Amino acid sequence: MTVSLILFIAFTVVLVLLLAWAVRPLKKAPLTPDDVFEALSEERHYARLPQILQSLQFDDTAFIKDRGQGALLERLRQERKRIALHYLSYLEEEYRILQECSRILATLAPELATKGELARFRQNLRFIWNCRYLRWRLRFGLQPWDVFGTLSDMAGTITLQLEAATARLGERAMSTVNSASVPDERPGEA
């Protein structure tokens, strides 16, 4: 059995696995444009980041330790960790909505920038990876500040991209309306 044969078979197996994944039905139904509009009008969760970060700092609960309330301290830290995990879930959901929004815009857009789309794809992968990493860090009691900051920044970046994309779409739609509203003035028909 040659290396070439193994590579061809491995490549084919990878293709079959990707095919199976690609045709698998979606776990969550895609959001409709109305759902996205509604979700975007709600309060953003990542604005609460500073409070969450503050609550996870050891200094924030040091005074309880100083008073010798070990059990209470442990309970408090567990509670705060649980809240941080909840916050992470909300952040994920928020990012999903923004992603859906950008996908809906992509389906409406007359042309897409390949570089921009690839950058967003990479960003999505990074976000998923960071979320999983952060979850594990929280569960093992490690400090999660840097990663939380990165995730929050990513949500901000995708918002900026969306804003630029909607602005472009709006301009295009406006120029279409303007050109449609120009009276048909063909020579000889006036």
Partner 1 sequence: MSEPVNLLNIAWALTTLLEGILLILIIRRRLSCSHPAFSLYIVAAILQSSAVAGSSWYWGQHTIQYFNVVWGSQALVVCARWTAVTEITRKILAGYSGIWRMARQILFFLGVIILVYSIAASTNRWEMVVLNADRAVELCIAGFIVGMLLFAKYYRLEMGNLERQLAIGFCLYSCSRVINVSIVQSWREAIRQWWDFFGVLSYFATLAIWMDGVRKTVAIRAPETPPVLSRDTYRELAQQLNTRLDALNRRLNHLFRSRSEDPRS
Which residues in this chain contact partner 1 in the complex, by CB under 8 A?
1-2, 4-5, 7-9, 11-12, 15-16, 18-19, 21-23, 26, 30, 33, 37, 40-41, 43-44, 46-47, 49-51, 100, 103, 106-112, 114, 117, 121, 156, 159-160, 162-163, 166-167, 169-170, 173-174, 176-177, 180-181
**CB 57 → partner 1: shortest distance, Å?**
14
Backbone angles phi, psi at 163, to 5 degrees: -60, -45
Angle CA(90)–CA(94)–CA(96) in degrees, nearest 5? 115
**CB 10 → partner 1: shortest distance, Å?**
11
Q: Within a 10 A sphere around the Cβ of 161, how many other Cβ atoms?
A: 17
- d(Cα 114, Cα 86) in Å, to the nearest integer? 35
CB 101 within 8 A of CB 40: yes
**CB 96 → partner 1: shortest distance, Å?**
11
Residue number with CB closer to partner 1 (72 or 167)? 167
**CB 74 → partner 1: shortest distance, Å?**
28
Residue number with CB closer to partner 1 (181 or 189)? 181
**CB 147 → partner 1: shortest distance, Å?**
17
Residue number with CB closer to partner 1 (11 or 136)? 11
- d(Cα 154, Cα 114) in Å, to the nearest integer? 19
Angle CA(56)–CA(58)–CA(62) in degrees, nearest 5? 130
- d(Cα 33, Cα 75) in Å, to the nearest integer? 43
Backbone angles phi, psi at 182, to 5 degrees: -70, 125
Residue number with CB closer to partner 1 (183 or 187)? 183
Nearest to 122 by CA among 91, 87, 157: 157
Residue number with CB closer to partner 1 (57 or 78)? 57
Residue number with CB closer to partner 1 (26 or 71)? 26
